[in-house]
A and B are shown apart, each in its own frame.
Chain A
């Protein structure tokens, strides 16, 4: 293997790598969002059943996918942290959680505003909405646990256990909610269950891709702050401050995430 993956497991080297990657992912996120919105909001025709209310799909479905997928990625990092005991893993879990929670909330919010014109109410105890709500609770639980532990290493490990317990439970929760739902109200009419036109599907997939790019960019930016905060006592952070030009003794730094990183290895 030519690439030494474990080299980047060290926060100091990952910091530089993330800094080089952020502009690319940010650019991709901006471009795909604009393209996706253009396809979905401008080009795509009005749905003959739901009228223009269906256009919420372009954020609802990508947000719901991203909310779920981010939890799986968190669990993957948590597992890596347990197996390899790398510090970076816990930091990545910490960096991903707020964005995952945000997308899950967006899925719930847009679901409510889509449900109102389609189902006649803002909230129904639909199986998918209910499981998404529970997923949101799991994110809140992780962040609450992290917030109440002062020692970051303990927070990493406790968070990893909680995330793994959560990810094992997610299929059980989904199945049980499905079961509960079919017993209580029968099959519900789902928006978007009818076959979609190609333009609509394209718009949705582009928006889903945009959500991916955004999540990667924002979590990389966040993990860089986390790395700096946790390693502020180490020498490499001091060198980095000088190399990046934040080293002025007067102190007010004007750095933005993704500012160029030539000085960092």
Chain B
């Protein structure tokens, strides 16, 4: 263990701004990408559902 306390960890030896800007933006981008993929998944399923309904409707 490198740190003596949690605030010590957050301070990053005086480099807090640079380290947390790097990690923060990376985390934000990863979360955004995951959210985007989830949204894309829902949208594609919804569209396919509409297509299926149209197919069923036109075949009956």
Contacts and interface: CB of A to CB of B under 8 A. Distances in A.
Direct contact of A and B (CB under 8 A): yes
Interface size class of B (residues with CB under 8 A): 35 or more
B14 A232 contact: no
Interface size class of A (residues with CB under 8 A): 35 or more
Interface in A105-122: 105-106, 109-110, 113-114, 116-117
Contacts of A3: none
B27 to A, nearest CB: 9
Given A255-B45, A257-B38, A257-B41, A56 B18 contact: yes
B45 A52 contact: no
Contacts, number: 119
Given A222-B37, A257-B41, A233 B51 contact: yes
Contacts of B50: 251
Contacts of B44: 225-226, 228-229, 232
Given A46-B2, A51-B15, A253-B46, A106 B26 contact: yes
Interface of A is mostly: helix
A256 B38 contact: yes
Given A110-B26, A237-B52, A56 B1 contact: no
Contacts of B26: 59, 63, 106, 109-110
B49 A246 contact: yes
A232 B51 contact: yes
Interface of B: 1-3, 9, 12-15, 18-19, 21-23, 25-26, 29-30, 33-34, 37-38, 40-53, 55
Q: Which 7 A/B pairs are nearest by Cβ-Cβ distance? A: A52-B13, A53-B15, A110-B22, A232-B48, A228-B44, A238-B52, A52-B12
